[in-house]
Amino acid sequence: MTDMTLERPERWWQLVRAALAGTHQDYTSGPIARSLLLLAIPMVLETAMESLFALVDVFFVSRLGADAVATIGLTESMLVMVYTLAIGLSIGLSAVVARRIGEKDGPGAARAAVQGIVLGLGVAAVVAVVGILFAPRLLALMGASPAVQAGGAGYTRVMLAGSGTVLLLFLINAIFRGAGDATIAMRSLWLANGINIVLDPCLIFGLGPFPEMGVTGAAVATTIGRGIGVLYQLSQLRRRDGRVLIQRAHLRPDPGVMATVVRLSGVATFQVLIATTSYVGLVRVVSSFGSPVLAGYTIAIRLLMFVLLPSWGLSNAAATMVGQGLGAGKPERAERAVRLAGIYNMVLLGLVSVIFLLLARPIVGAFSSDPPVLAAGVLALRTTAVGLAFYGYGMVLHQSFNGAGDTWTPTYLNIICFWLLQIPLAWVLSRRLGAWGAYLAIPLAECTLTVLSAWMFGRGRWKTRRV
């Protein structure tokens, strides 16, 4: 490592213990590698915990039959927009909080936190009203069968009505990440998931004193779990020794701060939406080759998303250090943190790439033994894995622009690489090379994204961005 020696196992263990304990650290000074890993370890675990919600629900609900599972799938597709808004708002809010913390402006960070929470509550109220009033109609619009509409309306209604817990979990965790309190963000997801895991079977199947609610019980369990996670988060924002302490004086509306959060978050939301719609476009291209090919592609993409979790942790850690570094007037430190995180990510995803290239068949085979599905999945996994190491560096650069408050640069790059390159290229290549052409468009677009991100990062305009 560049500025820290961690070759002894006990040193690594001490670092992990410190990261999980949430020890206070000034991320604007000291060894950069140590700061990165102290932030990244809990961020990786936080991301893994968020993805666990859907897995747990599907695991238990699958016992109720195909219609119940279809209800979850259709409702999750409706919640994509909620997640997009939550991630977009989180990017802007985290950038503002990180900048204020770097400037040693605790009250400013608290004011930004309050304005972000108010925005989240406003969005949640709109979604809740729509969900409560129109749940069956929304399922029908998504193509649900009459049986799914009848049995799943309760699940959809509860999930949309409780979307505020999703938004607040994302937003308040963004506050903690921006402030450098990544361990608190991780713990809130642990708590929420633990409660969901316990309540899911109780409310779905009516165990003990609990009512049997079927698929609706999964929504109730998830909402309760997330709600208690939010209550824990709010309690941590009142801690006297916390990096962000919200007091009564910070509760007043602040149009200037809210405008800043809205400006950054609005662009970031569009940025996330571009990537989301690009994924939908790729699915549409691949689906033209039949269900076995689509199934194999889906398995490969899910595997890729799983192995990218640690990389997102490193990328978010770098973004926090960029925001705090710029706030502290140390752009050179911010740049060194990004480049070091990028190297770590390249090494990590480079190892994953080798594993996928060599062991694609047994890995995909663990999910499906159907020959056409297996063949498509192996081809998709190997093709997309080729550019993983290169893309790993680009992920860090991309997220670091957001950390600096420069949300427009990654948005422009997403438009170029996903909408103008990836989707048209996937369509053209698939017409000539079959499904492999569509797969090939993914690493080509991602590598282009890395090259353009490196060029823009080297120009250094992000260092002068005011937040």
- The vertex-451 CA angle with 396 and 307, nearest 5°, equals 40
Both 241 and 291 in a single domain?
no
Query: Residue 79: what pLDDT?
Result: 84
Task: Please indicate, yes or no, if residue 66 is contained in any of the structural domains.
Answer: yes
Burial class (CB in 10 A: 0-12, 13-18, 19+), 88: buried
Return d(Cα 283, Cα 20) in angstroms, integer: 38
Going by C-alpha positions, the residue among 149, 168, 147 that lies closest to residue 157 is: 149
Give the count of domains, the chain. 2
| The predicted structure's pLDDT at residue 2 | 44
End residue of a domain, out of 203, 233, 253: 253
Instruction: Tell me: do 347 and 234 sit in the same domain.
Output: no
CA dist 103 and 298 (Å) reads 44
Determine, yes or no, domain membership for 382: yes
Could you tell me if residue 370 is inside a domain? yes
- Cα 87 to Cα 109: distance, rounded to the nearest angstrom: 19
- Evaluate if residue 6 carries a pLDDT over 70: no
Residue 34 has pLDDT above 70, yes or no: yes
Reported as a single tens digit per residue, the pLDDT across 161-217 is 999 999 999 999 999 999 999 999 999 999 999 999 999 999 999 999 999 999 999
pLDDT at 7 over 60: no
pLDDT digits (tens, 9 = 90+) for 354-370: 999 999 999 999 887 88
Residues 206 and 321 grouped into a single domain: no
Q: What is residue 329's predicted lDDT score, i.e. its pLDDT?
A: 95
Residue 181 tokens read as: 């309190």
- Kindly report which listed range (71-85, 312-326, 336-350) carries the lowest average pLDDT score: 71-85
Residues 304 and 449 in one domain: yes
pLDDT at 106: 93
Mean pLDDT of the chain, nearest integer: 90
Do 200 and 242 belong together in one domain?
yes
**Amino acid 5: pLDDT:** 45
Q: Has residue 56 got a pLDDT over 50?
A: yes
- The parent domain of residue 43 ranges over 30-253
Q: 278 with 5: CB under 8 angstroms?
A: no
Q: What is the structure's pLDDT at 4?
A: 45
DSSP structure class, residue 242: S
Contact 309, 47 (CB under 8 A): yes
Q: What is the pLDDT of residues 108-157, one digit of tens each?
A: 999 999 999 999 999 999 989 998 999 888 888 877 788 888 888 999 99
Clarify whether residues 237 and 368 are in a common domain.
no
Give pLDDT, residue 74: 79
Q: Are residues 95 and 163 in the same domain?
A: yes
C-alpha distance from residue 281 to each of 143, 442, 446 (Å):
19, 12, 15
Residue 52 · residue 226 · CB < 8 Å: no
395-449 pLDDT, tens per residue?
999 999 999 999 999 999 999 999 999 999 999 999 999 999 999 999 999 999 9
**Domain boundary pick from 253, 285, 301:** 253
User: What's the CA dihedral at 332, 338, 339, 342 to 10 degrees?
Assistant: 180
Same domain, 454 and 361: yes
What does the alpha-carbon distance between residue 427 and residue 333 come to, in Å, rounded to a whole number?
42
Residue 389 sits at φ, ψ, to 5 deg, of -60, -45
Shared domain check, 197 and 88: yes
Put simply, whether the predicted model's pTM sits higher than 0.85 gets the answer: yes
Pair 249, 307 in one domain: no
Residue 382 has pLDDT above 50, yes or no: yes
Residues 225 and 292 in one domain: no
| Residue 54 pLDDT | 65
Question: Is the Cβ–Cβ distance between 341 and 396 less than 8 Å?
Answer: yes
The band of 8, judged by pLDDT with boundaries at 50, 70 and 90, is low
Question: Where do the H-state alpha helices sit in 308-461?
Answer: 309-327, 331-365, 371-385, 388-403, 408-414, 423-433, 435-459
User: Does residue 53 sit within a domain?
Assistant: yes
User: Which among 15, 18, 50 is positioned nearest to 33, based on CA atoms?
Assistant: 15
Per-residue pLDDT of 216-246, as tens digits, reads 999 999 999 999 999 999 999 998 888 899 9
Mean pLDDT to the nearest integer, 268-289? 89
Report pLDDT for 174.
Answer: 95
